Chains A and B, each alone.
Chain A
Amino acid sequence: MQPNSIAIVGAAETTNLGVIPDTSQIQLHADAALNAMADAGLKPKDIDGIATAGETPVTVAHYLGLTPKWVDGTAVGGCSFMIHVRHAAAAIASGLCETVLITHGESGRSGVGRTRNFVAPTSLAGQFEQPYGPMGPPTLFTIPVLRYMKTYGLSHEQLAMVSVVQREWAAENPRATFKTPITVEDVLNSRMIASPFRLLQCCLVTDGGGALILVAAERARDFPQKPVYLLGTGESVETPMVSSPVIPAKAGIQGCKGLDRPPGPPLSRGRRNKHLLARVPRRRP
């Protein structure tokens, strides 16, 4: 994909965010999709490609009344939708379709019409991880952290600072659930969930969704909103088991193998975050 050759011309979240007990998972996908189509000034007949995860693209296409000629149901967890952007860009660039809708919807808090991530007892994770009592991301993604802390000398205060800074960023989003600033002390005094991780270090579980519409850059100016151009994308997968990673050094894999982006300065703008560790208060004696 050439940088700036693909544009996002529609983007929206669900009409409500946070706690939405009167809306099912599939309707959260649809609500976000309808809002994104309205944002781009499009109707269902204008969409000829669809990508989604959580639900299948067949389910979402049917629900929305679409008959796409390109579908992608890549489901690799939370970054599925970022990978959909990459796949959509490739599909548009190669002429497989022209206008791609990507949808996300999750009734994480209310659990209305939710499809469950079931770990089969015959799978490797079902045989060699589930019997030891993990229960979702806070007990799995966190397991390597103590090792990281020992290897790199990271303190609990420094780890807590991640939540403090994330809350600062959330405060700048008018739709964020929590905007009140928190301190390192607040984090370290919050309820223990999976030691060393406490409540304020765990993801907020919410209801909501989002959707994007992508087209070729040459069409972007035909749409009502200011387009956002795609500079670069990347993808990879490693393991469904936290206990059994493909060790990068041994496997010859580099962290950013799949990333293609134009030369130039880093895309990240996290200037404040650069000083994240320097801001950690000293541990009280």
Chain B
Amino acid sequence: MSEGRRARPQPTPETQHFWDGTRAGELRLQRCNDCGKVYFPPRPFCPACAARDVVVFAASGKGRLYSYVIHHRPVPGFTPPYAIAVVELEEGPRMMTNITDCRQTPEALQLDMPVEVAFEKLDDDITLPLFRPARR
């Protein structure tokens, strides 16, 4: 692994629920009570209709591999080659992630393959949502 450690997110008041969620083993998204839009990343209002009446809920943690690159250069905390991926969640939003429990090759990483969340604890504060090929 390259020297150093991977970049650590620093939660803000508006995103704290997400990081509390991953620490508790939940992938939390938000839904607008006015227009029904499910969105990510976190904000205390709906980016589709500007309503402030939004709720946090636990997502299924399931999605599909939307797109990715396989990085071959050294980055602190990573062993190249590694995939930097975007998954599209069952509920709609997309998020960046790494794909774990999977060879980091174009052959193994097939677009649209089902994936599921796999939480990776970095420290007492931060648990990252990674994704792995779905097991069911």
Contact = CB atoms under 8 A, between A and B. Distances in A.
Contact of B70 (A130, A131, A194): A194
B40 A143 contact: no
B71 A135 contact: yes
Contact of B72 (A130, A144, A145, A193): A193
A133 B82 contact: yes
A276 interface: no
Contacts of B33: none
Contacts of A144: 67, 86
B68 A135 contact: no
A195 to B, nearest CB: 4
Given A127-B9, A139-B84, A133 B41 contact: no
Interface residues of B, number: 36
A15 interface: no
A128 B70 CA distance: 18
B8 interface: yes
A181 interface: no
A191 B12 CA distance: 40
Interface in B61-98: 66-73, 75, 77-78, 81-82, 84-86, 93-98
A195 B70 contact: yes
B8 A121 contact: yes
A97 to B, nearest CB: 36
A131 B84 contact: no
Nearest to A128: B41
Nearest to B120: A131
Which of A144, A193, A197, A243 counts the most chain B CB atoms within 10 A?
A: A243
Contacts of A250: 48
Interface string B30-63: 0000000000110000001000000000000000
A150 interface: yes
Contacts of B40: 128, 244
A282 B94 CA distance: 35
Interface in B1-15: 6-12, 15
B96 A147 contact: no
Contacts of A131: 6-9, 128
A129 B7 CA distance: 9
Dominant secondary structure of chain B at its interface with chain A: loop
Given A131-B6, A131-B7, A193-B71, 17 more contacts: A126-B9, A132-B85, A132-B98, A132-B128, A133-B75, A133-B98, A134-B96, A135-B75, A143-B67, A143-B68, A145-B67, A192-B72, A194-B73, A195-B70, A241-B96, A244-B95, A250-B48
B84 A143 contact: yes
Contacts of B75: 133-135
Which of B10, B40, B69, B93 counts the most chain A CB atoms within 10 A?
A: B69
B10 A242 contact: no
Contacts of A124: 15, 41
Given A139-B84, A150-B111, A193-B73, A130 B7 contact: yes
Contacts of B71: 133-135, 139, 193-195
Given A127-B15, A143-B69, A146-B68, A132 B41 contact: no
A194 B70 CA distance: 5
A121 B85 CA distance: 19
A147 B66 contact: yes
A223 B8 CA distance: 54
A142 interface: yes
A194 B41 contact: no
Nearest to A140: B84
20 contacts: A121-B9, A127-B10, A127-B15, A129-B96, A130-B9, A131-B6, A131-B7, A132-B84, A133-B82, A133-B84, A135-B75, A143-B85, A146-B67, A147-B111, A192-B81, A193-B72, A194-B69, A195-B70, A195-B81, A196-B106
